[in-house]
């Protein structure tokens, strides 16, 4: 018995040593193995816009040292893959409610009113109430590693709970908790990734991260079709209930992956998972010049934030953009053609197909904007959106043209969302506090407004034509277009047009000039001073558009 207790104690101590958060003051600045060459070779300059676009796919540049390329692969496995899988599960699980609705849940739970929209509203309420508090928590060292994992676990449990729902009221409660669980995911993941990747590295991976949302939506539709066709009635459960169960299992797999490999930020641990102590030292050192020392969120901080134009105009841009979104319009249209024209699985299959286009848009439009400039790329998206909106308003067109319009809607939503979000971050680079607060604020207000606007605008009783909703949508597209031009102009000329509301954004550069560093600094990317380590509790959010800014895009 004593031997068993000793074994349990030893195992518990090892588990604790593996999972604990280390004191930032005890982390090393120097390397254990100083014989390894960590310096970069001179980078060959690439000319031409097409060459720059291809450069986005070069995740491990040849001018990096062999050590740094191997280090990035470890970070991709430990950080990028976990955050991307977490983002995937969010869209896998959030899409399943509308997929389930058109796959038997409506009839089984006797849903004949506006319940589908209320499911979205309760999700939005939980999301918007908890996003700002959770985002502020994730910047703290003690929460950086495990808050996202805890939210993922809660999300999985709630998804299981949805499979047991017997009425709409139970689903309302579950959807609220799911919204709370997702609140920190999107902004929190970007905060974490920005502590590991330089701007040019992050832009190459941002497309992959955003792509996971569309893959989640697509696989959710295909999974629901498979559950309906092959699992309906198994163990006495309907096919739509099996989708919630399978989604929950996938989410728990992501939780386990995070517990074993996700290190949080470089400031949270001495070594973890596949990252050695020298790897973590290198991670901290290479981000010198990208670390923002936070200040206290007090009245002075808030006054400084709200004396600039960004909080007001970015809210209008982001909220207006998200008002155009309604995930269920195509599904409800296709469902209205069942069984005369399509099989019962057709609504979710069509939704899966739109997810493919959404994924392509999410991947390429931000990268095209970073390479060729926002103005031509975003304007082209607006032109496509005007066409799709006009077709759906007219409605009395061919079935094929109508489906094309539904598909084209997703270019506006999925392509411009990451572009605008990253742009907002770059426009708020005056301080870490402003960036974190404004990013959380625009997202929170967007979901808060959708909580009541979606049931009002998209009344299910008007499905599938939604004549009023599509006209409102078109108005929002025009509004967002105007706001885009206003923000685009102010980004370039605010110091001339409204200097009293500009803030300090124009005093900051997004680019690190490595050529001005000493030889030792170029080799090790500097060392993090003791005082800096004492003070650092969060980091500046590095985004795709900051990389675009460092490239000095011509438009």
> Model confidence over 376-400: pLDDT tens digits?
999 999 999 999 999 999 999 999 9
Is residue 13 situated within a structural domain?
A: no
Is 247 in contact with 96 (CB distance < 8 Å)? yes
Is residue 152 situated within a structural domain?
A: yes
351 and 233 share one domain: no
Is residue 41 situated within a structural domain?
A: no
CATH code for position 441: 1.20.1250.20
234 and 320 share one domain: no
The mean-pLDDT minimum among 70-79, 266-275, 490-499 falls in 266-275
Closest listed residue to residue 413, CA positions, set 370, 453, 384, 445: 384
State which of 288, 318, 346 marks the end of a domain.
288
Provide the pLDDT for residue 149. Answer: 92
400 and 259 share one domain: no
Write the Ramachandran bin of 518: left for phi over 0, alpha for psi from -120 to 50, otherwise beta.
Answer: beta
233 and 315 share one domain: no
Phi, psi of 198 (to 5 degrees): -75, 165
Is residue 38 situated within a structural domain?
A: no
**Highest averaged pLDDT of the listed ranges 343-347, 513-517, 530-534:** 343-347
**Highest averaged pLDDT of the listed ranges 24-28, 205-209, 507-511:** 205-209
184 and 315 share one domain: no
pLDDT band at 479 (very low <50, low <70, confident <90, very high): very high
Is 331 in contact with 348 (CB distance < 8 Å)? yes
| 550, pLDDT greater than 70 | no
Provide the pLDDT for residue 355. Answer: 81
Which residues, including other chains, have CB under 8 Å from residue 169's CB and lie 6 or more apart?
none
Provide the pLDDT for residue 19. Answer: 65
Is residue 43 situated within a structural domain?
A: no
Decide which of 136 and 250 is more confident. Answer: 250
- The percentage of residues in the chain with a pLDDT greater than 90, rounded to a whole number, is 27
Average pLDDT over residues 86-101: 82
Is residue 347 situated within a structural domain?
A: yes
Closest listed residue to residue 288, CA positions, set 56, 58, 505, 520: 520
**Highest averaged pLDDT of the listed ranges 13-22, 149-158, 201-210, 283-292:** 149-158
Is residue 176 situated within a structural domain?
A: yes
Closest listed residue to residue 262, CA positions, set 542, 480, 19: 19
Is residue 39 situated within a structural domain?
A: no
275 and 385 share one domain: no
Q: Tokens at residue 512, please?
A: 């690190």
167 and 264 share one domain: yes
Instruction: Compute how many other C-beta atoms are within 10 angstroms of the C-beta atom of residue 21.
Output: 17
Provide the pLDDT for residue 505. Answer: 66
Average pLDDT over residues 361-386: 89
> For residue 10, what are the CA distances in angstroms to 4, 5, 144?
10, 9, 27
| 94, pLDDT greater than 60 | yes
Decide which of 108 and 509 is more confident. Answer: 108
Indicate the DSSP class of residue 114.
S
Provide the pLDDT for residue 23. Answer: 66
Q: Tokens at residue 179, please?
A: 């919204």
| 409, pLDDT greater than 50 | yes
Q: Tokens at residue 461, please?
A: 């009783």
Helices 81-100, 115-138: crossing angle, 10 deg rounding: 160
> Cα–Cα distance between 159 and 247 in angstroms, integer?
7
- The pTM of this model reads 0.75
Provide the pLDDT for residue 402. Answer: 95
| 24, pLDDT greater than 70 | no
Q: Give how many domains the chain has, as a whole number.
A: 2
> Cα–Cα distance between 351 and 316 in angstroms, integer?
28
270 and 316 share one domain: no
SS3 397: coil
312 and 376 share one domain: yes
Provide the pLDDT for residue 69. Answer: 94
Closest listed residue to residue 129, CA positions, set 440, 424, 453, 420: 440
Decide which of 96 and 441 is more confident. Answer: 441
198 and 268 share one domain: yes
pLDDT band at 295 (very low <50, low <70, confident <90, very high): low
Provide the pLDDT for residue 116. Answer: 84
| 173, pLDDT greater than 90 | yes
Is 435 in contact with 428 (CB distance < 8 Å)? yes
**What is the residue range of 475's domain?**
306-516
Is 400 in contact with 333 (CB distance < 8 Å)? no
508 and 472 share one domain: yes
253 and 319 share one domain: no
Q: Tokens at residue 358, please?
A: 């959404």
Closest listed residue to residue 87, CA positions, set 364, 396, 417: 417
Average pLDDT over residues 246-259: 92
Average pLDDT over residues 448-475: 88
């Amino acid at each position: 018995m004593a031997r068993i207790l000793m074994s349990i104690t030893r195992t518990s101590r090892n588990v604790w040593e593996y999972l604990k958060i280390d004191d930032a003051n005890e982390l090393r600045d120097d390397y254990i193995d100083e014989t390894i060459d960590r310096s970069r070779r001179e980078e060959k300059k690439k000319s031409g816009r097409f060459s720059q676009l291809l450069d986005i796919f070069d995740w491990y540049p040849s001018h990096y040292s062999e050590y740094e390329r191997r280090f990035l692969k470890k970070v991709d496995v430990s950080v990028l893959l976990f955050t991307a899988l977490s983002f995937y599960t969010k869209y896998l699980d959030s899409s399943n409610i509308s997929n389930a609705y058109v796959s038997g849940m409506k009839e089984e739970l006797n849903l004949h009113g506006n319940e589908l929209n209320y499911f979205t509203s309760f999700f939005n309420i939980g999301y918007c109430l908890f996003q700002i508090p959770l985002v502020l928590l994730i910047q703290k060292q003690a929460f950086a590693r495990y808050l996202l994992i805890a939210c993922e676990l809660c999300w999985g449990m709630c998804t299981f709970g949805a499979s047991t729902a017997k009425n709409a009221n139970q689903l309302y409660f579950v959807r609220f908790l799911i919204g709370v669980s997702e609140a920190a995911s999107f902004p929190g993941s970007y905060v974490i990734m920005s502590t590991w990747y330089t701007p040019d590295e992050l832009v190459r991976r941002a497309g992959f991260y955003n792509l996971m949302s569309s893959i989640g939506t697509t696989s959710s539709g295909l999974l629901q079709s498979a559950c309906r066709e092959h699992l309906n009635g198994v163990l006495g459960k309907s096919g739509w209930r099996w989708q919630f169960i399978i989604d929950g299992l996938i989410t728990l797999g992501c939780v386990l992956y995070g517990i074993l490999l996700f290190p949080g930020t470089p400031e949270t641990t001495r070594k973890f998972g596949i990252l050695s102590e020298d790897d973590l030292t290198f991670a901290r050192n290479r981000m010198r010049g990208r670390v923002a020392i936070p200040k206290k969120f007090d009245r002075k901080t808030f006054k400084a934030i709200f004396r600039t134009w960004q909080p007001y105009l970015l809210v209008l841009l982001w909220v207006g953009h998200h008002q155009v979104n309604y995930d269920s319009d195509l599904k409800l249209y296709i469902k209205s053609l069942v069984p005369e024209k399509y099989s019962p699985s057709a609504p979710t299959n069509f939704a899966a197909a739109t997810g493919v286009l959404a994924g392509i848009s999410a991947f390429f439009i931000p990268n095209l904007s970073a390479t060729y400039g926002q103005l031509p790329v975003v304007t082209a998206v607006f032109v496509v959106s005007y066409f799709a909106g006009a077709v759906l308003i007219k409605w009395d067109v061919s079935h094929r043209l109508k489906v094309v319009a539904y598909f084209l809607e997703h270019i506006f939503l999925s392509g411009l969302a990451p572009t605008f979000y990253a742009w907002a971050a770059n426009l708020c680079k005056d301080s870490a506090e402003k960036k974190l607060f404004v990013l959380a604020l625009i997202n929170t207000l967007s979901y808060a407004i959708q909580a009541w606007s979606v049931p009002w605008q998209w009344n299910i009783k008007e499905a599938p034509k939604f004549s009023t909703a599509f006209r409102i949508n078109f108005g929002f597209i025009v509004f967002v277009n105007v706001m885009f031009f206003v923000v685009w102009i102010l980004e370039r000329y605010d110091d001339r047009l409204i200097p009293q509301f500009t803030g300090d954004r124009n005093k900051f550069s997004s680019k690190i000039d490595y050529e001005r560093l000493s030889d030792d600094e170029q080799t090790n990317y500097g060392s993090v001073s003791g005082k800096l380590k004492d003070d650092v509790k969060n980091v500046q959010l590095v985004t795709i558009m900051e990389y675009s800014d460092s490239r000095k895009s011509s438009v």
